[in-house]
Amino acid sequence: MIDVSTLTLKEIVSSLEKEKFSSEELVLAYQKRIKDVDEDLNSVLEISPTAQDDAKKIDKARAEGKSLGKLAGVPVLLKDNMMVKGWGNTSGSQILEGHKSIYNATVVERLKKAGAILLGRTNMDEFAMGSSTETSHFGPTKNPWDKKRVPGGSSGGSAVAVAAGLAPIALGSDTGGSIRQPASLCGVVGLKPTYGRVSRYGLMAMASSLDQIGPFARTVEDVAFLMSTIEGKDSKDATSVELKDTSVPELMNPSVDGMKIGIPKEYFLKGMDKDVEKLVMNAVAELEKGGAKVEEISMPHTEYALATYYIIMPCEASSNLGRYDGLRYGYHSTGNNLAETYSLSRGEGFGPEVKRRIMLGSYALSAGYYDAYYRKALKVRSLIKQDFDEAFKHVDAIVTPTSPSIAWKLGEKFGDPLTMYLSDIYTITANLATVPAISLPCGFSKDMPVGLQLMGRPFDEYTLFRIGMYYQNLTEWHKRIPV
């Protein structure tokens, strides 16, 4: 059987083309690995029953010399909040237990068109609310580098799956850091694309002005490759944008010579782990050696980002989650009248974190509070966005840590929402400002991975890929795998 534990997307595409192995063999090898190692990790909620047949079809088409898509025969895992027709997608929630998706998300359609094999769905914090994948109704996912620690969240399942070699690539969603933070804590690459780059049609909405779908992989090159298959305008998502440049990794010249890189002083304050700071600054020094010009910049409204996010996100979430009424899909509890049925179904079906946010959001949106909270938060969001606009007049990319610390112990922050929320301090600004941001491994502290975050101008993922590929050509961090 193929040893899939270290395979990258690029290696798989080339091996499939050269017929070193078939897609069916590959799928079987990943399925076996999931069976062997995921019982402990709990990153995969369900393996697709059709994956092997889907792979056979691609193998047959290849044997017949048919023209194939860019991801022909490549297995991919999807976060549980992306709809795949016929799958039991739940967003990690009890309220959707028993739900069957009746259509495909646009990213799913595009992956299928590119020939990818949908391998299964991954665990996540309930409705993507969390930073540790502990709020999932289906139990926590564990970090493959140390199973006593969290993988980050909310896309913890996808990050763990890629880190543990259960799939070469996976998709997640990022509303405040849910791709980048678990990527950082698990030692893989994760990209939150610019708002509008990837269609969210068929993504179960959390906070619609912040949500983006994006890829996980071992290398920046693989992330760029995967992006090129899912990005671009979609008539079913009015916020998606016609792209001038698509992600074409082949054409990239990974050099940072002459590039201007900003280090925002507001991101390097108290509370950050000293090792994390050191490793991030080592990475910056590498870029400087390559000819990048590094300068300190100021983003003065950063300190308001967390407060702003924790108004806007719950407001939007409280509205988006109104649709789960216990009648149309999933969990149902019968009361004496309609109001009681709603109340019982929602009260029993949602977990505590989701209820907390629905209550926060409903409160902040209610008459008399709307202006004081929601409108004010939108104004501060504009100021945060202006910080980025101003910075990008002088620099091509901004470098920060992805997470202020390495992965913490399971249970350590669970039950203490404020401490949990603080772990997103470096990632939420990119969502508020709608800019692209990528996390890639930049070293280890106490044998746990540390991530470097690069943020770029809107729709300039290309610059992030260039810097990231340059850095990965020089370093080996992304090649280490958990035992």
Q: In sequence order, what are the residues at sequence separation of 6 or more whose Cβ sits closer than 8 angstroms to the Cβ of residue 131? A: 125, 152, 153, 154, 177, 178, 181, 413, 420, 421, 423, 424
What's the CA gap between 387 and 381, in Å, rounded?
A: 10
- Which of 159, 188, 203, 206 is the binder for ligand GLN (CB under 6 A)? 206
Instruction: Please give the structure tokens belonging to residue 461.
Output: 């993922």
- 154: annotated active-site residue: yes
Judged by beta carbon, residue 136 or residue 175, the one nearer ligand GLN is 175
Q: Does 178 bind ligand GLN (CB under 6 A)?
A: yes
Judged by beta carbon, residue 276 or residue 317, the one nearer ligand GLN is 317
Q: Which of 442, 59, 453 is nearest to 283 (CA)?
A: 442
Site string for ligand GLN, 304-343 (x = CB under 6 A): ---------x------------------------------
- Residue 287 contacts residue 294 (beta carbons within 8 Å): yes
Cβ density class 164-173: b for 16+ within 10 Å, e for less: bbbbbbbbbb
Report the nearest approach of ligand GLN to the CB of residue 471 (Å): 24
Cβ density class 402-415: b for 16+ within 10 Å, e for less: bbbbbbbebebbbe
Q: Which of the ranges 55-63, 129-137, 139-147, 270-278 carries the binding residues for ligand GLN, by CB under 6 A?
A: 129-137
Judged by beta carbon, residue 178 or residue 229, the one nearer ligand GLN is 178
Q: Which long-range contacts (CB under 8 A, 24 or more apart) does 475-479 make?
A: 475/286, 475/442, 477/187, 477/441, 477/442, 477/443, 477/444, 477/449, 478/187, 478/188, 478/189, 478/218, 478/219, 478/440, 478/441, 479/6
Judged by beta carbon, residue 161 or residue 203, the one nearer ligand GLN is 203
Report the nearest approach of ligand GLN to the CB of residue 351 (Å): 13
Judged by beta carbon, residue 8 or residue 154, the one nearer ligand GLN is 154
- Which of 115, 130, 249, 290 is the binder for ligand GLN (CB under 6 A)? 130
In this structure, how many other beta carbons lie within 10 angstroms of the beta carbon of residue 194?
Answer: 24
The SS3 call for residue 5 is coil
**Helix-helix angle 220-230:106-113, to 10 degrees:** 100
Q: Which of 178, 184, 345, 405 is catalytic?
A: 178
Amino acid at 22: S
According to CB under 6 A, which residues from 339 to 378 bind ligand GLN? none
Q: Which of 23, 79, 131, 405 is catalytic?
A: 79
- Backbone φ and ψ of 453, nearest 5°: -105, 135
Residue keyed to tokens 């008539």: 235
The SS3 call for residue 91 is coil
Q: Does 131 bind ligand GLN (CB under 6 A)?
A: yes
Judged by beta carbon, residue 33 or residue 149, the one nearer ligand GLN is 149
Q: Does 186 bind ligand GLN (CB under 6 A)?
A: no
Q: Does 73 bind ligand GLN (CB under 6 A)?
A: no
Judged by beta carbon, residue 128 or residue 189, the one nearer ligand GLN is 128
Report the nearest approach of ligand GLN to the CB of residue 431 (Å): 7
**DSSP run (H or E) holding 14:** helix 9-17
Q: Does 176 bind ligand GLN (CB under 6 A)?
A: yes
- Which of 47, 129, 162, 283 is the binder for ligand GLN (CB under 6 A)? 129
Q: Which of 101, 154, 184, 247 is catalytic?
A: 154
Q: Which of the ranges 74-82, 170-178, 337-345, 432-440 carries the binding residues for ligand GLN, by CB under 6 A?
A: 170-178
- Which of 151, 177, 449, 468 is the binder for ligand GLN (CB under 6 A)? 177
Amino acid at 448: M
Positions that interact with ligand GLN (CB under 6 A): 128-131, 154, 174-178, 206, 313, 424
Q: Show which residues are catalytic.
A: 79, 154, 178
